[in-house]
Structures are given as structure tokens and as C-alpha cells.
Structure 1
Amino acid sequence: MLNKKDQRVRRSRQTRIRIATQGVARLSVNRTNLHIYAQVISGDGATVLASASTAEADVSKALGGKGSNAAAATAVGKRIAEKAKAAGVEKVAFDRAGFAYHGRVKALAEAAREAGLQF
């Protein structure tokens, strides 16, 4: 019997295998109870091209220390899209790491799309 975390890890592994066959950069998202993190990882999986999170000092200050809500996820989504475009990445595959496409994960994805990232 798998526990909740093992089920999520299993789902994420399947997604990463599928994304690896595409050979494009991936936008990987991780969320904890306190923060949300996003990374753009190269197609070969070797390099992090851009990263953003609510744990960064300037983001945290702008949000007033509230890093665990949809507004914070939206801010991180915009920031990761800007950083990815600056690194020369326009197209990514969205890797939600087994998390449901709902709430903070959805807010981050929609904000990144609005800021010009294609996936």
C-alpha cells in the first residue's frame, strides 16, 4: 500500500519519463505548506536555466511573508516566465511533479502562460 507521498512521486516519475522523450525544457513545480518553487530545467535535464520561489528575499518581502497562497503562486509564475525568457527559453513542458492541477499549481501555470511562456 502506497502512502500519499509515494503516490505523488509515482505520478511525477511517469510524467518526467514522458517529458524526457519530448526533449524540451521543463517547468518543474514543487509546493510545500509554506512556499512554492519553480525551475526551468534544460531538455537534457542537466542544467537549471531559471528558478523562482516565494522563499527568495525580494519576493517574500513583496508578498509580506505570505508564500502559501494563490497570489504568491501567481507572482512566482510571472517571475519564472520573465527569467526563462531572459535565458532564451520560450517553450516548456509543464511538470507539476504529481501535484493536482488545482489551486496554487494552477495559479502558477496560468501566470506563466500570461507572461509569455508557451506550454
Structure 2
Amino acid sequence: MADKKLENRQKRKIRIRAKIRDMKDRPRLSVFRSNKHLYGQIIDDEQGKTLASAVSQELKEAGSKKLTKLEKAKLLGGKLAEKALSQKIKKVVFDRGGH
């Protein structure tokens, strides 16, 4: 049962990625959430390079108070947006990665 779910997720991921690659004028935004941290990347698929990235571990500079997952996500999005705007990236395509 678990193998079938994983297999179906992989198929979805491939279908979604194919649709995203058709939009060559926009880079792809990929977000990964582990048990402890959030990771965000803006990727140019044509060159195969990461244009901007941000990690929730970088948010410790924001203050010593403990942040909720939602607060971390908002701060991470803001930090990633700043990095993207500094490279003149205004539009991205969200890659949901099969979820």
C-alpha cells in the first residue's frame, strides 16, 4: 500500500514538473519542509542553477523568541522574496512537488 502511494506521488510529481517546465520565462519556486526546518529555493531549470535560497535556520537572527511554524514560513517567504527581487526576479512558478 505504501509503495503504491509513493509511486502515485512520483507520477504526480513528474506530471507537475513537465507542466512547470513549459513556463520557461519564469523560474521555479520549490519549498521543502522537514520536521524541524523549512527550505525554499528559486531554481532556473534551463541553466540548472539555484538563483536564490533561504532556510529557516537563518531566521535565528530575527530574535531570540521562539517562532511558530507559520511565523517561520512568513519570515522565510519574505527573506526569499528579498533575495529574488535583488536579482530582478518578479514572478515564479510554485512547484508543489507532488503534494
Provide TM-score, normalisation by structure 1: 0.68
Structure 2: state its 5+ residue gaps: none
Higher strand share: 2
The answer to whether residue 57 in structure 2 is matched with residue 62 in structure 1 is no
| Residues paired across the two proteins, number | 97
- Structure 1 or 2, whichever has the larger Rg, is 2
Q: Equivalents in 1 of 2:90, 2:31: separation in Å?
A: 17
Structure 1: state its 5+ residue gaps: 100-119
Q: Equivalents in 1 of 2:66, 2:18: separation in Å?
A: 34
1:1-119 aligned within 5 A: 1=1, 2=3, 5-23=6-24, 24-44=26-46, 46-56=48-58, 59-62=59-62, 64=64, 69-99=69-99
Provide TM-score, normalisation by structure 2: 0.80
> Displaced runs of 4+ in structure 1, greater than 6 A?
none
RMSD after superposition: 2.4
Of 27-36 and 65-74, deviating more is: 65-74
